[in-house]
């Protein structure tokens, strides 16, 4: 009699387990990975979830990560820093396709289009891995339907650290879903602070000095029409808030939409 082979099935052994499908390393400090998406997970582009691994003590070791993939994608994408002695990233950086991670399917966050009042020009202001939520929002048709112009300012120390965002932005015009919507609405301002490049300097300085407006040939900030989303380190977020408030923009939230919203980028 023929033996019937048992079906080979990846049985989740972790709570809320998802399977890693691909991993891309950009620098010795940065990597991105994709994983399966729980059927139950619905999210708004720009939100974050808790993800992680099982700790040595057998308990989940979780951190907040912005979802970098758009809400229509059948997989999930994350963009992460690697911290040599970071409790989670020192281990997470070694994941391989087929490995499991823990993902709590409860998305939250204020970096969403709903937390902004209607406007004409949207600024996405990111340092380092703060580009992650914008990787999601830039691939969401709603972003392009709601705004006449989208300006992406992404600043990192060195050129290589801009690669993830640059690849994503350069692929947008050819995207079958949103390529036509993007049209000529996108202005991209990638800058470095510790290496030369086309643009240099901190986002805060380039806004305050007026350099970015001159370089791109666009109008100064106007609270009647400009909206901003901010994601970066704590120090950057505090400093950019001052710049935006000086220009007359107020901070919004899900419950009270206004002219700008802020989220802290993942740190360890
Ligand atoms: P800088 O090189 O001048 O510190 P990090 O890798 O440390 O998170 O920094 C990412 C980018 O954010 C760097 O280009 C850094 O510039 C910039 N940055 C750090 N702190 C601030 C801040 N308070 N305001 C504006 N930009 C900042």
Confidence of residue 10 (pLDDT cuts 50, 70, 90): low
Ligand 1 close to Cβ of residue 239 (< 6 A)? yes
81 lines ligand 1 (CB under 6 A): no
Is the shortest distance between the CB of 168 and ligand 1 below 6 Å? Answer: no
Backbone angles phi, psi at 39, to 5 degrees: -60, -30
Asked whether 234 lines ligand 1 (CB < 6 A), one says: no
Span(s) in the chain for CATH 3.40.50.80: 113-264
* CATH no. of 113-264: 3.40.50.80
pLDDT, position 2: 47
- pLDDT, tens digit, 9 for 90 and up, residues 87-114: 999 999 999 999 999 999 999 999 999 9
- Summarised one tens digit per residue, pLDDT across range 196-251 is 999 999 999 999 999 999 999 999 999 999 999 999 999 999 999 999 999 999 99
- pLDDT score, position 178: 94
Atom of ligand 1 nearest to the CA of 29: 6
60 close to 87: Cβ distance less than 8 angstroms = no
CA of 61 to the centre of ligand 1 (A): 27
Residue ranges of the chain that CATH labels 2.40.30.10: 17-108
Closest CA to 48 of 264, 260, 267: 264
Write the pLDDT tens digit of every residue in 135-160: 999 999 999 999 999 999 999 999 99
Percentage of the chain modeled with pLDDT above 70? 94
| pLDDT at residue 15, rounded to an integer | 74
Tell me if 46 CB under 6 Å of ligand 1: no
- Which helix (H) or strand (E) segment holds residue 133: the answer is helix 132-137
Where is average pLDDT lowest: 4-18, 43-57, 242-256? 4-18
Q: Residue 79 above 50 pLDDT? A: yes
- The pLDDT of residue 181 is 96
Is residue 4 scored above 80 in pLDDT? Answer: no
Q: Per-residue pLDDT for 268 more than 70? A: no
Domain 17-108 has CATH 2.40.30.10: yes
Ligand 1 neighbourhood includes 204 CB (under 6 angstroms): yes
Contact 65, 48 (CB under 8 A): yes
Beta carbons within 8 Å of 132's beta carbon, 6+ residues apart: 65, 66, 67, 68, 78, 79, 231, 265, 266
State the chain's mean pLDDT as an integer: 94
pLDDT band of residue 56 (cuts 50, 70, 90) is: confident
Q: What is the pLDDT of residue 12?
A: 52
Ligand 1 atom with least separation from CA of 192: 14
Structure confidence at residue 58 as a pLDDT band (50, 70, 90): confident
């Amino acid at each position: 009699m023929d033996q019937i082979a048992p079906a080979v099935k990846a049985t989740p052994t972790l709570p809320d387990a998802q399977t890693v499908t691909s991993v891309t390393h950009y620098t010795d400090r940065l990597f991105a990975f994709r994983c399966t998406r729980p059927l139950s997970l619905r999210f708004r582009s720009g939100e974050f979830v808790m993800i992680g691994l099982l700790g040595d003590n057998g308990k989940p070791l979780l951190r907040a990560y912005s979802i970098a993939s758009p809400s229509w994608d059948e997989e999930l994408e994350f963009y992460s820093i690697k911290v040599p002695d970071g409790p989670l990233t020192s281990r997470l950086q070694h994941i391989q396709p087929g490995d499991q991670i823990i993902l709590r399917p409860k998305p939250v966050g204020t970096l969403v289009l709903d937390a902004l009042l209607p406007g004409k020009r949207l600024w996405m202001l990111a340092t380092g891995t703060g580009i992650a939520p914008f990787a999601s929002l830039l691939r969401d048709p709603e972003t392009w339907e709601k705004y006449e112009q989208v300006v992406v300012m992404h600043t990192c120390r060195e050129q290589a650290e801009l690669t993830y965002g640059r690849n994503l932005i350069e692929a947008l015009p050819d995207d079958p879903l949103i390529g036509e919507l993007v049209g000529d609405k996108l202005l991209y301002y990638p800058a470095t602070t510790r290496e030369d490049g086309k643009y240099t300097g901190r986002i805060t300085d380039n806004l305050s000095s007026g350099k970015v407006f001159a370089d791109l040939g666009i109008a100064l900030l106007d609270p009647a029409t400009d909206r901003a989303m901010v994601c970066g380190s704590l120090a950057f977020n505090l400093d950019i808030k001052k710049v935006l408030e000086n220009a007359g923009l107020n901070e919004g939230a899900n419950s009270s939409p206004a002219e700008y919203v802020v989220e802290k980028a993942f740190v360890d």
